[in-house]
Amino acid sequence: AKRAGGGRHVRFAQAMRERAARRSDIEADLRLALQEDQLFVVYQPVVALRADGSTDYSAGVEALVRWQHPLRGVVPPFEFIGIAEESGLIGPLGDFVLQRACTDFQSWRQSLGDGAPRLLAVNLSRAQLGQAGWSETVARILAQTGVEARQLQLEVTESLAAQDAQIQQRLHELKALGITLALDDFGTGYSSLASLHLLPVDTVKIDRSFVSQSESSEHHRVLIEATVKVAQSLGMSTVAEGIETTAQAEVVRALRCDKGQGYLYSKPLTSDALLTWLASHRTG
Ligand code: C2E
Ligand code: CA
Ligand code: CA
Ligand code: CA
């Protein structure tokens, strides 16, 4: 038994070394990726679910980063965002995404006018807020690209929004620019409806895990309904994430979610593909 345990220990140590090596490979590759333009941004439409049953397809988009790796192909964010956060690369990565997304957003306004998406959502990591004066970077990118502050929404997670006083201060600095904040993945963290009023957010994004069970589970429908009611009472809007079926869309619409996002409408698209999608989904 002792020998077997030792074997497990050796195998475990070996697995740890392999993991660490893989991480530092990804980190080195990511550093290069930032220099060599291998990162790009895709956009998933966020639609407005009107109470009359109609849908407004140009309500907004969420920017999502992708990595075109020379050998591995397109690498999804869950494989590198964590590493970027731990290695300090999230700063330049996040600035790249914001700059590119604002540039693309402005180009849609030029080509589509009133038919362009009205809100641009960009994900924010805790490490980005750690940088003193980051709100000045945001202000500079807005000024350079011509995007209005009220058109930009930064998405933060519950654990981030509930953080210490310094983080709260940084979030308020951002809000002072005129941008809005969304609480991402709501329902998956440890904070609750009761503490929603403590967070400086304008929008609550209800996590996909609730939406995907909304057809089969009364419990999940009740949770969505309660979230919408509390958010409304605080003057916050709601987005249902990960809508994959028409039935789910109708459930969240009936529960008065303001907006929806998910594969039912569209997967994340390149800037060009988004223009084509918008052209074929004109709001009636
Ligand atoms: P998220 O912010 O919750 O983004 C939504 C994720 O759900 C995206 O995955 C999107 O492609 C996926 N999704 C959307 N609709 C559906 C659906 O109907 N069904 C299913 N199964 N999935 C759907 P993605 O693009 O792989 O991003 C994963 C996570 O990586 C994001 O989760 C976000 O936390 C992070 N991320 C992505 N881009 C950035 C970025 O630029 N900066 C930072 N800090 N994080 C990012
Ligand atoms: Ca998000
Ligand atoms: Ca989310
Ligand atoms: Ca997520």
Q: Give dist(CA 244, CA 263) in Å, integer.
A: 5
**How large is the ipTM?**
0.98
pTM recorded for the entire structure: 0.94
64 C-alpha vs ligand 2 centroid, how far in Å?
Answer: 8
- According to the model, what pLDDT value does residue 185 have? 93
In this structure, the residue with its CA closest to atom 20 of ligand 1 is 242
Tens of pLDDT along 125-178?
988 888 888 999 999 999 999 999 999 999 998 777 666 788 888 999 999 999
> Is the CB of 123 within 6 Å of ligand 1?
yes
158 C-alpha vs ligand 3 centroid, how far in Å?
Answer: 11
- According to the model, what pLDDT value does residue 229 have? 97
In this structure, the residue with its CA closest to atom 37 of ligand 1 is 64
1 band by pLDDT with thresholds 50, 70 and 90 = very low
- According to the model, what pLDDT value does residue 161 have? 64
Mean per-residue pLDDT over the chain, rounded: 92
Tens of pLDDT along 221-266?
999 999 999 999 999 999 999 999 999 999 999 999 999 999 999 9
241 C-alpha vs ligand 3 centroid, how far in Å?
Answer: 6
45 band by pLDDT with thresholds 50, 70 and 90 = very high
